[in-house]
């Protein structure tokens, strides 16, 4: 099973992936997190940030997630770049898949800007940046949509996602409210 979390930089993807791991890893040791930034560091940050390199980056995450899923692991991926073709690949190639969109407006993530990415982009010191220089294409059919503007508690959101994942659902109680897209 692959849980694919996507959203703009600063939306809370890694925070959410970490919350899932913190809550469930002790009881589900086969849970692994693949984070886009960590993958870049692992591969010596050998790719740039243009669209072609972002596609290659996502391809790396996809292939690694597929390999790990094939070994019976529960894979949580936190990845920025999204486009319909890449997300369609996920649905076609993962045995079990839940797509989570951490929906955050550009103004919201610019205001948060924990990494200073958007301030650097405004000064011309970073780029290309998804949402500014590269169009952000939000998922068209995410299974779960999280409204980041309400600053939801990551653990609460992790529980809501877990309810959609059979390997995790049995480990929790009491339903949580989350807006779902109907998939």
Instruction: Please state, as a whole number, how many other Cβ atoms lie within 10 Å of the Cβ of residue 1.
Output: 19
Domain ranges of the chain: 2-169
Which one is predicted more confidently, 90 or 47? 90
> CA 9, CA 102: separation in Å to the nearest integer?
10
Dihedral of the alpha carbons of 59, 45, 43, 140, in degrees to the nearest 10: -20
Reported as a single tens digit per residue, the pLDDT across 3-57 is 999 999 999 999 999 999 999 999 999 999 999 888 888 887 788 788 888 899 9
Asked if pLDDT for residue 82 goes beyond 90, the answer is: no
2-169 belongs to CATH 3.40.50.300: yes
Edge-to-edge order in the sheet of strand 2-6: 31-35, 74-79, 2-6, 97-103, 144-147
Please tell me the distance from the alpha carbon of residue 58 to that of residue 64, in angstroms, as a whole number. Answer: 10
Q: Which of 8-17, 24-33, 80-89, 99-108 has the lowest average pLDDT? A: 80-89
177 pLDDT higher than 50: no
Whole-number pLDDT of residue 118: 87
**Band of residue 68 on the pLDDT scale cut at 50, 70, 90:** very high
In this model, does residue 123 exceed pLDDT 80? Answer: yes
Where is pLDDT greater, at 181 or 1?
Answer: 1
Dihedral pair phi/psi, residue 127, rounded to 5°: 155, 165
Average pLDDT over residues 127-145: 89
- Please report which confidence band the pLDDT of residue 174 belongs to, taking 50, 70 and 90 as the band edges: very low
What does the pLDDT average to over 100-116?
Answer: 89
Mean of pLDDT over the chain:
89
Per 3-state DSSP, what percentage of the chain is helix, strand, and coil (rounded to 5)? 45, 15, 40
């Amino acid at each position: 099973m692959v849980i694919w979390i996507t959203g703009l930089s600063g939306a809370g993807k890694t925070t959410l992936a970490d919350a899932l791991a913190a809550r469930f890893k002790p009881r589900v040791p086969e849970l692994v997190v693949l984070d886009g930034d960590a993958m870049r560091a692992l591969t010596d940050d050998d790719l740039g940030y243009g669209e072609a390199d972002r596609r290659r980056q996502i391809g790396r995450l996809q292939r690694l997630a597929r390999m790990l899923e094939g070994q019976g692991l529960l894979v949580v991926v936190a990845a920025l770049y999204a486009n319909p073709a890449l997300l369609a690949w996920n649905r076609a190639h993962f045995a079990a898949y839940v797509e989570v969109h951490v929906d955050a407006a550009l103004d919201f993530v610019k205001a948060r800007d924990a990494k200073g990415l958007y301030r650097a982009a405004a000064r011309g010191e970073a780029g290309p940046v998804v949402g500014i220089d590269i169009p952000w294409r939000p998922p068209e059919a995410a299974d779960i949509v999280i409204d980041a503007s309400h600053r939801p508690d990551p653990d609460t959101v992790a529980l809501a996602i877990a309810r959609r994942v059979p390997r995790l659902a049995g480990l929790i109680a009491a339903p949580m409210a989350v807006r779902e897209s109907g998939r």
